[in-house]
Chains A and B, each alone.
Chain A
Amino acid sequence: MKLENTKAQMRKGILEYCILTILSNKEAYPSEIIAELKSAKLIVVEGTLYPLLTRLKNAELLQYNWVESKSGPPRKYYFLTPSGVDFLKELKTTWTELSAAVKTISKTHHNE
């Protein structure tokens, strides 16, 4: 098993969760989401985000509006759909449980 693969897989689920979290507070267009994710060091390149947004949208967790921009092309502002909100709720619970579990296990083994 390659380290890179494991890392990528770990990041994947979290990435979804983070995108949904970002969008739960406000509508955002990709560049904004990217900026947040970049500052959190979750992604390095923007390319990763586009397929993810499209797939979340196709899964009907996200929806978007076209908004005109003064400086350039129109932007897609994404927001959560009701099922996206539910989905995020579920993810949040799972994440809380998981991070607690990981913490507990890491601690136990660290103390040994």
Chain B
Amino acid sequence: MNKTININLSGFVFNIEEEAYERLKQYLDNVGAQFSNAEEREEIMSDIELRIAEIFQDKIGPFKEVIIMTDIDEIIDILGHPEDYNEGDESIDETENQNQESNNYERRKRLFRDTDNAVLGGVCAGLGHYFDMDKTIIRILFVLLFVFFGSGILLYLILLFIVPEAKTTTEKIEMKGDFVNVESIKQHFEKIKQNLTNGEKQKQFRSTIKSTVDRGTAAGKNFFEIIAKIFGIGLTLGGIFLFAMTLFTLFGNNEILLPFIGEDRIPDLQTMLHIIYPGDSPSTLFFVCLLIVIFIPIITLILTGLRLLFDYRHAIKPFVIGLTTTWFIAAGILFFYSLELASDFKSNQKIIERIEDPILANDTLYVDVAHDDQFSDLIDPYNHWNSAELIKTDGQYIYMGWSELSFRTTADSGDFSVNITKHSCGASIASAIERIERINYPIQVKNGVLFIPPYMRIPAEDKIRAQYASVEIVVPENKTIIFGSNIGRIYRHAEYGPEPHGSMSPGSVWVNETGVFEKNVQ
């Protein structure tokens, strides 16, 4: 006993066994998948259904009411397997395509420069062919990219170098050839889906499956190519973005990206390198090397992206070898400089000076910070401590606008003592000490007030070698400290006073009672 269902074929109703129905449906689906033109397919399929209805009609009689599996087999024998339908295909071109499906993918479109339609080097016209876009649009895109930090020019030059000109007719045809697009892949996958479902159960369709698998492999290959192209686009755009950003950072005097550099700070990157790297004027060579070391990887990134995008094997190789060699030479020079730089940090020295002044014998010491004529009295060290804004150079000197002030209480009686610690590195003990001696950090006593300098100054030729100055004031028992109005310039970061508690605002008075600072409100 088998279950039957009713089907409508070209307006005729037939009773058909479920199993037979499934087979018929798969057969029709498969036949339908043979025709790419939708309109044509509809008409052909209705013709076929009509014919099947006719054959069924012949079979049904007083002793037979139901269409069964063997009837379907007979139908297939009469009408042929799905792949037989295309044998009568009138277009020879199409048939060739089907026969040489696998070749098709190797014969796909390639990127060439179209010098016949060129404005400059034919890059844009070539890209237009490759992407099936109007070349004018590509040109507009390039001009837009040029506006964005000139990266359009770089991309254009790279393409100009690595993309060959379409010289022969074959190349010109390849340049305009068929492109494997998403649509064709979609079609492939649809066919696979339709064909695989009926698949293995039925040996009649074995040859169909074989061609399906072939198509599947091709489609899989396409899928990876599409992925590679997406990566290619990502790498190219990422590279261009990086290029633009780096260019912007290096030459744009941009305070957000390189906070050290700016007006009234370090004028440019070259100066910045100059005050760090040893030597009188190595910075130009160094700077060029630095640019090479930074930009070659970015260019390589763009090249890799373009290669994925356009599938280049030749032409690019000598270019890459050249880039790699240049990079290593530049990196070697940088490394050499850096070794020299590192050797300047071998010795690490400090000198502690003790200030001698009669006011230190007083019971009350007025402490203030001298006027900041280089940076600003308004700098909040709590926010700006060690910040990039606190270093500048005028070519002759380097100014560093940070210094450290600290207080220590002692249970001893006697005078205040003020110690300045100066620190620097150097290639030798002697050179480190010479640098320390050149640190200009003058503590002054004026009108009975001890003035701490807000910044230190070192000669530009000393370079930045971890020079540092800090002041410690030791407060004996029962002595009082009163802060001046500018104390906040270097000291406000200690919101809680010299010792763990209390505010350290200007004008506040601190007394060392029994070894602990106490705030005395006047």
Chain A residues packing against B (C-beta within 8 Å): 2, 5, 8-9, 11-12, 15-16, 30-31, 43-56, 58-59, 69, 71-76
In chain B, what residue has the closest Cβ to A48?
B88
Within 8 A of A (CB), among B73-88: 77-82, 84-88
Contact call A12/B95, Cβ cutoff below 8 A: yes
Contact residues in B for A45 (Cβ distance below 8 Å):
77-81, 84
Contact call A55/B80, Cβ cutoff below 8 A: no
Interface assignment of B69: CB less than 8 Å from any CB of chain A:
no
What's the Cα separation between A51 and B42 when bound, in Å?
Answer: 11
Contact call A50/B51, Cβ cutoff below 8 A: yes
Question: Known: A72-B58, A73-B53. Contact between A49 and B92, CB under 8 A?
Answer: no
Chain B residues packing against A (C-beta within 8 Å): 10-12, 31, 34-35, 40, 43-44, 47-48, 50-51, 53-54, 57-58, 77-82, 84-92, 95, 99
What's the Cα separation between A2 and B229 when bound, in Å?
Answer: 35
Contact call B58/A44, Cβ cutoff below 8 A: no
A30, A44, A71: the one within 8 Å of B47 (CB): A30
Contact residues in A for B47 (Cβ distance below 8 Å):
30, 50, 53-54, 76
Contact call B85/A51, Cβ cutoff below 8 A: yes
Contact residues in A for B90 (Cβ distance below 8 Å):
12, 16, 52, 55-56, 59
Contact call A58/B85, Cβ cutoff below 8 A: no
Contact residues in B for A46 (Cβ distance below 8 Å):
51, 78-80
Contact residues in A for B81 (Cβ distance below 8 Å):
45, 47
A30, A49, A59, A72: the one within 8 Å of B53 (CB): A72
Contact call A31/B54, Cβ cutoff below 8 A: yes
- Nearest 5 pairs of A and B residues by beta carbon: A45-B80, A47-B80, A52-B88, A72-B57, A48-B88
Name 7 extra pairs, CB < 8 A, besides A12-B92, A48-B80. Answer: A12-B89, A47-B84, A48-B88, A51-B85, A51-B89, A71-B57, A72-B54
From DSSP, what is the main secondary structure of chain A's interface residues? Answer: helix
Contact residues in B for A76 (Cβ distance below 8 Å):
47, 50
What's the Cα separation between A1 and B224 when bound, in Å?
Answer: 29
In chain A, what residue has the closest Cβ to B99?
A5
* A13 smallest CB distance to B (angstroms): 8
A15, A59, A72: the one within 8 Å of B88 (CB): A15
Contact residues in B for A12 (Cβ distance below 8 Å):
87-90, 92, 95
Contact residues in A for B95 (Cβ distance below 8 Å):
5, 8-9, 12
Contact call B12/A73, Cβ cutoff below 8 A: yes
What's the Cα separation between A76 and B51 when bound, in Å?
Answer: 10
Contact residues in A for B87 (Cβ distance below 8 Å):
8, 11-12, 43, 48
In chain B, what residue has the closest Cβ to A47?
B80
Contact residues in A for B53 (Cβ distance below 8 Å):
72-73
In chain B, what residue has the closest Cβ to A55?
B90
Contact residues in B for A31 (Cβ distance below 8 Å):
51, 54
* B158 smallest CB distance to A (angstroms): 43
Contact call A73/B35, Cβ cutoff below 8 A: no
What's the Cα separation between A76 and B43 when bound, in Å?
Answer: 12
* A63 smallest CB distance to B (angstroms): 14
Contact residues in B for A50 (Cβ distance below 8 Å):
44, 47-48, 51, 85
B10, B44, B50, B58: the one within 8 Å of A51 (CB): B44
Contact residues in A for B77 (Cβ distance below 8 Å):
45
Question: Known: A12-B95, A46-B51. Contact between A51 and B86, CB under 8 A?
Answer: yes
What's the Cα separation between A11 and B95 when bound, in Å?
Answer: 13
In chain B, what residue has the closest Cβ to A38?
B78
In chain B, what residue has the closest Cβ to A19?
B88
What's the Cα separation between A45 and B76 when bound, in Å?
Answer: 9
Contact call B80/A51, Cβ cutoff below 8 A: no
Contact call B54/A51, Cβ cutoff below 8 A: no
Contact call B44/A2, Cβ cutoff below 8 A: no
In chain B, what residue has the closest Cβ to A16?
B90
Contact residues in B for A47 (Cβ distance below 8 Å):
31, 48, 79-82, 84-85
In chain A, what residue has the closest Cβ to B42?
A54
Contact residues in B for A53 (Cβ distance below 8 Å):
47
Contact residues in B for A49 (Cβ distance below 8 Å):
88
Interface centre among A11, A51, A69 (most CB of B within 10 A): A51
* 30 chain-A/chain-B pairs, Cβ below 8 angstroms: A2-B99, A5-B95, A8-B87, A8-B95, A9-B95, A12-B90, A15-B88, A30-B51, A31-B54, A45-B77, A45-B81, A46-B51, A46-B78, A46-B80, A47-B82, A47-B85, A48-B87, A50-B44, A50-B85, A51-B85, A51-B89, A52-B89, A53-B47, A54-B47, A55-B40, A55-B91, A56-B90, A59-B90, A72-B54, A73-B53
Question: Known: A12-B88, A12-B89, A71-B57. Contact between A51 and B35, CB under 8 A?
Answer: yes
What's the Cα separation between A46 and B31 when bound, in Å?
Answer: 13
* A91 smallest CB distance to B (angstroms): 12
Contact residues in A for B35 (Cβ distance below 8 Å):
51
* A31 smallest CB distance to B (angstroms): 7
Contact residues in B for A51 (Cβ distance below 8 Å):
34-35, 40, 44, 85-86, 88-89
Interface centre among B12, B85, B90 (most CB of A within 10 A): B90
Contact call A9/B92, Cβ cutoff below 8 A: yes
Contact residues in B for A5 (Cβ distance below 8 Å):
95, 99
* B83 smallest CB distance to A (angstroms): 9
